[in-house]
Amino acid sequence: MSDVRQIKHWRAPVTLSATYEKLLAAIGTSEFGSTVRDSLMSLTAGARRVYLFEATDRVRNDLQYSFCEPAIAGLFPAYRKWYLGLDPVGDAFPAAPRHGDVALQRVLPSDIAPPAFRRRFFDDAGIVERISIIQRGADAWRVINVSRHASDGRFSDPTAVDIEPKFHGSLDQS
């Protein structure tokens, strides 16, 4: 089972102000996805994949942006057909039930029950961890998934930059 935590009373530290301003300026432009990717790459060593999407429930979502290996992008139709409903990110939505609520989910390959899904999207590609940040909007959840490769270790490894402290909020187990 993946680790899902609700984030309460979060705020970005002053050191992220310039990055945050770039993100705000990019909202609604064609550069938004690449600005998110570049911001993540500057803050977290080893981010391998980035997905931005909005979901109205576990199986209905709209991919807004993706940055991943071409072979993985080619698997999107198979993912939507067979694995979307099984993806642990759907388990995190209840941790952000009200408008503005935020949750963080940490998924390890061992959290992926279907062997074919785990093998194709995690093991074969050397992905050792995926972090999802979920925020409830007025009509949907906004989600960003960021994955790390084995060569860089997990986000929580001592040599990596961990996403969690960047929020300067309390992480309540849900």
Question: Position of tokens 């860089």?
Answer: 152
Q: Is 57 exposed, middle or buried (0-12, 13-18, 19+ CB in 10 A)?
A: exposed
For 99-137, the pLDDT digits (tens) are 999 999 999 999 998 898 899 889 999 999 999 999 999
> What's this model's pTM, rounded to 2 decimal places?
0.77
Q: Map out the domains of the chain as residue ranges.
A: 3-173
For 52-109, the pLDDT digits (tens) are 899 999 989 998 888 888 888 888 998 889 898 889 999 999 999 999 999 999 999 9
The CATH homologous superfamily of the domain defined by 3-173: Transcription factor LuxR-like, autoinducer-binding domain (3.30.450.80)
Give the separation between CA 98 and CA 126, rounded to whole angstroms: 35
Do residues 174 and 12 make contact, with C-beta atoms less than 8 angstroms apart? no
Which amino acid, one-letter code, is at 46?
G
CA distances from 148 to 9, 123, 151 (A): 27, 12, 8
Interaxial angle between packed helices 17-26 and 32-43, expressed in degrees from 0 to 180 and rounded to the nearest 10 = 160
pLDDT at residue 106 in the model: 93
